[in-house]
Structure 1
Amino acid sequence: MYNSLKYILLLFLASLSFVSCNQKQGDKIKVGFSQAMTTDDWRKQMNSAIKIEASLRPEVELKISDANNNITKQIEDIEKFITDKVDVIIVSPIQSKPLTAVVEKSIKAGIPVLVVDRKIEGENYTAYLGADNIEIGRIAARYIISHSKGSGKIIEITGASGSSPAYERSLGFEQIINENKRYKVENTVHGDWEGESVKAPLKAILLQNPDVEYIFAHNDRMALSAWETARTLGLEKKIKFIGVDGLNTLNGGIELVKAEVLDGTILYPTGGNEALKLALKIYNKEAIAKNNILNTIVIDKNNAEIIENQMDKVDQQQAVIESQQGAIKVQEKEYASQNNLVRLLSFFLVIILSLTIYSIYSTISISRKKKQLERINQTVIDQNNEIQEMAQIAERSNTAKLNFFTGLSHEFKTPITLIMSYVESLIENEKIKGTTLIDEVKLIHKNSNRLLRLINQLLDFRKIEEQKFTLRASNTKIYDFTNEVMTNFKGEAARRNIDFQLTCKNKNLELFIDRGLMDKVYFNLLSNAFKFTPDNGKITISIVENQDNTVKISFKDSGIGIPENELANVFNPFFRASNNNKNSSGIGLHLSKEFVLLHQGTIELKSKQGSEFVITLLKGNSHLQPSEMINKAENINKTPNLISDTLDIETDLNETNVISESEKHTLLVIEDNIDLVTFLKAKLSGEYVVHTSDGSDAVEKAMEIVPDIIICDINLVDKDGYEISKELKKDLRSSHIPIIILTAQSDKESTLKGLQSGVDQYLTKPFSLSILKQSISGLLFNREKLRYYYTNNIYRVEPESKFGNQEQSFITKMNDIITTNVEDPKFSVEDLADKLGVSRVQLYRKVKAIIGINISDHINNVKLEKAAELLKSNNMNISEIAYSLGFSSPNYFSTAFKNKFGISPKEYKSSL
Structure 2
Amino acid sequence: MYQKAFIYILLLISLSACTPKNKHYVIGVSQCSEDIWRDKLNDELSISSFSNENVDIRFASADDNDQRQIEQINHFIDEGVDLLIASPNQMHTISSAIDRAYAKGIPVILFDRKTDSRNYTAFIGADNYVIGKVMGEYVGVSLKGKGNVLEITGLESSSPAVERHRGFCDALNSFPSIKLIGSLHGDWTKESGSYLMDSLLKKRKDIDCVFGQNDRMAMGARMAARKLGFDKNIIYIGVDGLPTSDGGLHNVASHELSASYIYPTRGDLVMQLAMNILKKKPFKKDNYLKSTIVTPENAHAMLMQVDEINHQRARLIELHGKVDQYFAQYNHQQIYLFLSVVIIILIISFFVYIYRTIVMKRRLADETAKAKLQFFTNVSHEFRTPLTLIADPVERLIDDKEISASQRSLLLVARKNVNVMLRLVGEILDFRKVQNGKMDVDLSIFDLAENMRQWIMGFLPSANTKRITISTEIPESLVVCADLNKMECICYNLLSNALKYTHDSGHICVSVKENNGMFTFIVSDDGIGIPKDKVLHVFDRFYQARNSNIGGTGIGLALVKAFVELLGGVVSVKSIEGQGSVFTVTLQIGNINSNEYLRQASVNNDETFVVAQETMNKNEENVELRQMTSIVTDDDKPTILVVDDNDDIRTYVTSLLEAEYDVKLASDGKAGLEKALRYVPDLIICDVMMPIMDGLEMCDCVKRETVTSHIPVILLTARTQEDQRTEGYNYGADAYITKPFSGKVLLARIKNLLNNRLLLRDIFSSNELMNDKPKDADTLFINEFRKHVQAQMSDAELNVETLSADMGLSRVQLYRKVKALTGSSPVELIRITRLKQAERLLKSKGKTIAEISYEVGFSSPSYFSKCYKEYFGILPGEVK
TM bin, normalised by shorter chain, reads: 0.5 to 0.7
Following superposition, the deviation at residue 110 of structure 1 comes to: 1.9
Q: Find out whether 1:387 has 2:383 as its counterpart.
A: no
Alignment-derived partner of residue 261 in structure 1: 256
Alignment-derived partner of residue 193 in structure 1: 189
TM-score, normalising length from structure 2?
0.67
1:42-71 Cα distance to aligned partner (Å, 9 max, x none): 222222222222223334222222444555
State the SS of the aligned residue for 1:247.
coil
Alignment-derived partner of residue 276 in structure 1: 271
Alignment-derived partner of residue 35 in structure 1: 31
Q: Find out whether 1:316 has 2:311 as its counterpart.
A: yes
Say whether the 8 Å CA contact 1:670–1:698 is kept in structure 2. Answer: no
Following superposition, the deviation at residue 785 of structure 1 comes to: 6.0
Letter in 1 for 2:28: G
CA distance in 1, matches of 2:88, 2:611: 61
CA distance in 1, matches of 2:572, 2:237: 57
Distance 1:193 1:750, change over 3 A: same
CA distance in 1, matches of 2:601, 2:359: 45
1:712-791 equivalent positions in 2, closer than 5 A = 712-714=686-688, 721-722=695-696, 738-755=712-729, 759-764=733-738, 772-784=746-758
1:776-817 Cα distance to aligned partner (Å, 9 max, x none): 223213444677889998999xxxx963599999999xx9xx
Distance 1:740 1:17, change over 3 A: same
Letter in 2 for 1:9: I
CA distance in 2, matches of 1:858, 1:343: 88
Alignment-derived partner of residue 14 in structure 1: 12
Distance 1:697 1:35, change over 3 A: farther
1:727-754 Cα distance to aligned partner (Å, 9 max, x none): 8889999887643123343335423443
CA distance in 2, matches of 1:182, 1:486: 46
Say whether the 8 Å CA contact 1:640–1:766 is kept in structure 2. Answer: no
1:455-534 equivalent positions in 2, closer than 5 A = 459=429, 462-468=432-438, 499-500=473-474
Letter in 1 for 2:25: I
Say whether the 8 Å CA contact 1:699–1:724 is kept in structure 2. Answer: no
5+ long unaligned stretches in structure 2: 403-407, 461-468, 575-581, 790-795, 833-852
Letter in 2 for 1:397: T
Distance 1:644 1:784, change over 3 A: closer
Say whether the 8 Å CA contact 1:485–1:519 is kept in structure 2. Answer: no
State the SS of the aligned residue for 1:762.
strand
Following superposition, the deviation at residue 85 of structure 1 comes to: 1.0
Following superposition, the deviation at residue 646 of structure 1 comes to: 6.0
5+ long unaligned stretches in structure 1: 352-374, 432-436, 545-551, 597-601, 621-629, 816-821, 862-870, 879-893
Q: 2:60 aligns with which of 61, 65, 68?
A: 65
CA distance in 1, matches of 2:496, 2:33: 53
Distance 1:559 1:779, change over 3 A: closer
1:132-167 Cα distance to aligned partner (Å, 9 max, x none): 445444444433332126983444444456655445
1:610-660 Cα distance to aligned partner (Å, 9 max, x none): 99987789999xxxxxxxxx9999789999999995687546146689999
Alignment-derived partner of residue 288 in structure 2: 293
Alignment-derived partner of residue 372 in structure 2: 401
RMSD: 7.0
1:655-683 Cα distance to aligned partner (Å, 9 max, x none): 6899999886566767799999999899x
Alignment-derived partner of residue 343 in structure 2: 348
CA distance in 1, matches of 2:211, 2:496: 49
Letter in 1 for 2:362: A
Say whether the 8 Å CA contact 2:152–2:193 is kept in structure 1. Answer: yes
State the SS of the aligned residue for 2:217.
helix
1:177-221 Cα distance to aligned partner (Å, 9 max, x none): 5774542426948466134x5546644654664553223333323
1:236-255 equivalent positions in 2, closer than 5 A = 236-255=231-250
Letter in 1 for 2:69: Q
After TM superposition, the structure 1 stretch with the greater mean CA deviation from structure 2, 49-58 or 722-731, is 722-731
Say whether the 8 Å CA contact 2:150–2:207 is kept in structure 1. Answer: yes
Distance 1:468 1:101, change over 3 A: closer
Q: Find out whether 1:142 has 2:137 as its counterpart.
A: yes
1:533-574 Cα distance to aligned partner (Å, 9 max, x none): 998989675575xxxxxxx646487989xx9x99xx999975
Say whether the 8 Å CA contact 1:416–1:766 is kept in structure 2. Answer: yes
After TM superposition, the structure 1 stretch with the greater mean CA deviation from structure 2, 278-287 or 255-264, is 278-287
Say whether the 8 Å CA contact 1:216–1:241 is kept in structure 2. Answer: yes
Following superposition, the deviation at residue 120 of structure 1 comes to: 3.8
CA distance in 2, matches of 1:558, 1:256: 44
Say whether the 8 Å CA contact 2:151–2:180 is kept in structure 1. Answer: no
1:438-475 Cα distance to aligned partner (Å, 9 max, x none): 9x999x98x9999978876665554454444677889x
CA distance in 2, matches of 1:900, 1:783: 29
Distance 1:171 1:588, change over 3 A: closer
Following superposition, the deviation at residue 96 of structure 1 comes to: 4.8
1:100-137 Cα distance to aligned partner (Å, 9 max, x none): 33333222222222232344454444333333445444
CA distance in 1, matches of 2:107, 2:208: 47
Say whether the 8 Å CA contact 1:751–1:762 is kept in structure 2. Answer: yes
Say whether the 8 Å CA contact 1:501–1:541 is kept in structure 2. Answer: yes
Q: 1:586 aligns with which of 558, 569, 573?
A: 558
Q: 2:223 aligns with which of 199, 223, 228?
A: 228
Letter in 1 for 2:254: A
1:4-48 Cα distance to aligned partner (Å, 9 max, x none): 643542243123322441xx323322111123343x322222222
Following superposition, the deviation at residue 579 of structure 1 comes to: 12
1:589-615 Cα distance to aligned partner (Å, 9 max, x none): 44444454xxxxx989999xx999877
Distance 1:765 1:216, change over 3 A: closer
TM-score, normalising length from structure 1?
0.65
What percent of counterpart residues are identical? Answer: 27
Say whether the 8 Å CA contact 1:485–1:522 is kept in structure 2. Answer: no
Distance 1:643 1:61, change over 3 A: farther
Alignment-derived partner of residue 42 in structure 2: 47
Distance 1:501 1:469, change over 3 A: same
Alignment-derived partner of residue 109 in structure 1: 104
CA distance in 2, matches of 1:159, 1:810: 82
Distance 1:706 1:246, change over 3 A: farther
Alignment-derived partner of residue 301 in structure 2: 306
Say whether the 8 Å CA contact 2:642–2:665 is kept in structure 1. Answer: yes
Letter in 2 for 1:588: V
Distance 1:111 1:500, change over 3 A: same
Letter in 2 for 1:10: Y
Alignment-derived partner of residue 618 in structure 2: 652
State the SS of the aligned residue for 1:25.
coil
1:602-613 equivalent positions in 2, closer than 5 A = none
Letter in 2 for 1:194: K
CA distance in 2, matches of 1:666, 1:113: 70
State the SS of the aligned residue for 1:270.
coil
Say whether the 8 Å CA contact 1:187–1:205 is kept in structure 2. Answer: no
CA distance in 2, matches of 1:539, 1:314: 43
CA distance in 2, matches of 1:409, 1:324: 25
CA distance in 2, matches of 1:289, 1:570: 20
Say whether the 8 Å CA contact 1:787–1:850 is kept in structure 2. Answer: yes
Distance 1:586 1:216, change over 3 A: closer
Following superposition, the deviation at residue 761 of structure 1 comes to: 1.8
State the SS of the aligned residue for 1:245.
coil
State the SS of the aligned residue for 2:105.
coil
